[in-house]
């Protein structure tokens, strides 16, 4: 039973880590904080000049809004 739970937990973590790559978004971390996307709930998705940028949480949004071009440039 413990092996099954451990295996299921590992599978969920791997699925969460690969979600960004699977949908074409190139980053797995927040451009503001460096935190893992999804570690604080669903990422906050914003756009700057047509480019999607994902943030780890709402708390990063004001910093993104202070210089959106700077942070959007980090998404390649």
Q: Where are the domains of the chain?
A: 2-72
- What's the pLDDT at 9? 47
- What's the pLDDT at 23? 84
Check if the beta carbon of residue 66 is closer than 8 Å to that of residue 49. no
- What's the pLDDT at 37? 98
Of the candidates 59, 27, 31, 57, the one whose C-alpha atom is nearest the C-alpha of residue 43 is 57
For the chain, which ranges sit under pLDDT 50? 4-6, 9-18
């Amino acid at each position: 039973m413990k092996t099954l739970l451990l295996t299921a937990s590992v599978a969920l973590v791997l699925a969460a880590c690969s979600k960004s790559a699977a949908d074409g978004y190139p980053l797995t971390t927040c451009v503001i904080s460096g935190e893992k996307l999804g570690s604080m709930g669903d990422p906050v998705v914003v756009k700057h000049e047509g480019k999607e940028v994902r943030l780890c949480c709402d708390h990063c949004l004001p910093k993104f809004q202070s210089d959106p071009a700077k942070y959007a440039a980090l998404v390649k």
